[in-house]
Amino acid sequence: AQKVTQAQTEISVVEKEDVTLDCVYETRDTTYYLFWYKQPPSGELVFLIRRNSFDEQNEISGRYSWNFQKSTSSFNFTITASQVVDSAVYFCALSLYNNNDMRFGAGTRLTVKP
């Protein structure tokens, strides 16, 4: 069975600090997808990134970057120069190729203070 672990329950930083959210996953399948979603206080899940298991290339999108390492089964998310608007709960998730079994981590609540 798949499992996603987000060990950091809550993180608090001051604006402009860099912050890394950890995600470790478990699966026996060789083909899978990893995701990060942002859930602001409004509750709506905002899709941030999808990465398939064959693509270990790291990705940067503005202040966001993701580090995917299959050797350690990790898919960490870094926010550079954090802003107050980044305050939200961030979920890491894993799904198998057929997309019928998506598992979420427990989430990390990020608070960015001005």
Partner 1 sequence: GAVVSQHPSWVICKSGTSVKIECRSLDFQATTMFWYRQFPKQSLMLMATSNEGSKATYEQGVEKDKFLINHASLTLSTLTVTSAHPEDSSFYICSAAWWGNTEQETQYFGPGTRLLVL
The answer to the question of residue 64 lying near partner 1 (CB under 8 A) is no
Q: Closer CB to partner 1, residue 44 or residue 114?
A: 44
In angstroms, what is the minimal distance from the CB of 21 to partner 1? 14
| Number of other CB atoms surrounding residue 110 within 10 Å | 21
The Cα angle at residue 110 between residues 36 and 5, in degrees rounded to 5: 50
The answer to the question of residue 57 lying near partner 1 (CB under 8 A) is no
> What are the tokens at 112?
């960015």
* Single residue of 42, 57, 61, 71 touching partner 1 by CB under 8 A: 42
Name the site residues for partner 1 (rule: CB under 8 A): 33, 35, 37, 42-45, 47, 50, 52, 91, 95, 97, 99-107, 109
